[in-house]
A and B are shown apart, each in its own frame.
Chain A
């Protein structure tokens, strides 16, 4: 399979080295040897809890944060090897939608200006000439054209998220990274936005890297999913297969902790003891072992490697579920 995006061995360590500063240096490993591919037209979900590195991953793919190790191959070009100017040019082709529609739009600028700016910066298009394209993209996301002269605060959260999607679309990207883009929305609006994103995908054939903590959203929106825990991918595979038959104990716990709106499936939710460890001070061996019901002696010593099985699935566990 040729991928649109091939991420290989990506790692990110945050450290402190402040110039003329007395503060002690520290380092936190947010990402550890993360590799995956996204095919054209595919939706890949990334799920995990806080501290698992999913947001860092999104930002590393876009090079908003520079990864410490690894490479990002986008449509045959190694993004990590580009000079800053070419990097900025490439950014038109990978776009991002953020979580908080209240803070992702500049409150001081009209919607029209916000949508025209990418065209001006990348293509030198003047506002007047950009207007037809702005109208087209507003139509596409289901917003009235009159939005052009309005400010973000005049819109609701769902509408703002549509505007943020329009901004991401205006440069006609091939890949959109969505970081918890529907988490802040009410369920009825969330469903609207998810369907909009799917329609856009069908019409434009673009790919999504979809970061979320909500397994329900993953199940309904993604083709494949990467499950992350404390900076590493612990399991990946096609969504339906992975959730109905998880191999990694963490995936299983995550699935079983997700409450399902169905009294027929009412269950005791608390299956996993303990807290999520801090990335600054990760456990030895397999990072999940202190909470794992299947942990054995080897898990304390040795971090399991990600091993591929059948059907594009892979997992990193010494004692996988049956």
Chain B
């Protein structure tokens, strides 16, 4: 029975995910919250009556009101609208970079683990070098050198979390490589690329997806950091980080300008973390059932 557990195919895993969602209410709540946030950012123009760039200097730094649900910022722009549009940018950056990091990092990790020898050493030493710098410093460096625009920020965040994926993918690959079905695949004359893509990757996907959800939250935080210190997407495009920074000048007289976008960051990160924890529980066979 224990042997069968390690081989549980996707189908039963999906079923157990559903079962877990019912059991683990907190994760289900996280998933719901995240879905709502994504939907809200996608349908921002339909939800909000204002334009995110529309300045109304007479209404600047207002607290909550019927007109401005979450108040206005220094230029009298509607905070609620800007948060919705800011979420779009933040989520785009966070999710794109996580996805890229996952694909690239896992590929590198699988290649390193499967090939072994000098390929392994070379890839993993480079990954170690990237990991040796604090995440924020690496990101800062890339953005500072290449300039702050959408593509470069995605690139910066991708590079900072990519080594983590490589590490996570490499270890199970080494274990799987010793399994006889991989040897059998080689004996059947399958190419190495096919073995890595078709036979190894699906077997480590579960673990990787869990971490992806946790690191997506991390990526969104990095985006907020970068924006906060002025290395984010150029104004006037709203992102959560720039909004917090803009409000920082008025933190004493109008704290709400920073607090609401900060709260939005908190919600996104929290929901992703809850989802990640739930996924981890669902995939760990010891915690299933």
Residues of chain A whose beta carbon lies under 8 Å from any beta carbon of chain B = 18-21, 59, 62, 64, 87-92, 94-96, 98-100, 102-110, 117-118, 121-122, 151-153, 164, 167, 171
Contact = CB atoms under 8 A, between A and B. Distances in A.
A88 B162 CA distance: 33
B180 A122 contact: no
Given A20-B121, A151-B9, A100 B180 contact: yes
B179 interface: yes
A106 B183 contact: no
Given A18-B118, A106-B185, 5 more contacts: A92-B188, A103-B181, A108-B203, A117-B188, A121-B188
B184 A98 contact: yes
Contact of B3 (A90, A102, A151): A102
Contacts of A99: 180
B65 interface: no
Nearest to A85: B191
5 contacts: A20-B122, A91-B187, A103-B180, A110-B9, A117-B190
Interface residues of B, number: 30
A91 B190 CA distance: 9
A121 B190 contact: yes
Contacts of A92: 188-189
B188 to A, nearest CB: 5
Nearest to B11: A151
A19 B117 contact: yes
Given A18-B117, A19-B121, A104-B181, A62 B7 contact: no
A130 B7 CA distance: 25
Contacts of A121: 188-191, 194
Contacts of A87: 189
Given A19-B122, A108-B202, A102 B184 contact: no
A91 B118 CA distance: 27
B287 interface: no
Nearest to B178: A103
Interface in B1-55: 3-4, 6-11
A152 B188 CA distance: 18
A106 B181 contact: yes
Given A18-B121, A19-B118, A171 B4 contact: no
A21 B186 contact: no
Contacts of A62: 187
A164 B184 contact: yes
B10 A108 contact: yes
B189 A91 contact: yes
B208 to A, nearest CB: 14
A96 B189 CA distance: 11
B125 interface: yes
Contacts of A90: 189
Contacts of A96: 183-184, 187
A98 B122 contact: no
Given A88-B189, A153-B7, A153-B9, A104 B184 contact: yes
> Which residue of B125, B185, B194 has the most chain A CB atoms within 10 A of its CB atom?
B185
Contacts of A110: 9
Contacts of B187: 62, 64, 91, 94-96
A107 B117 contact: no
Contacts of A167: 184, 188
A279 to B, nearest CB: 19
A96 B179 CA distance: 14
Specify which of A92, A100, A104 lies most central, judged by the most chain B CB atoms within 10 Å of its CB.
A104
B199 A106 contact: yes
Contacts of A91: 186-189
A167 B198 CA distance: 17
A311 to B, nearest CB: 33
B180 A64 contact: no
Nearest to A108: B202
Interface in B192-242: 194, 198-199, 202-203
B7 A152 contact: yes
B8 A153 contact: yes
Nearest to A107: B7
A118 B9 contact: no
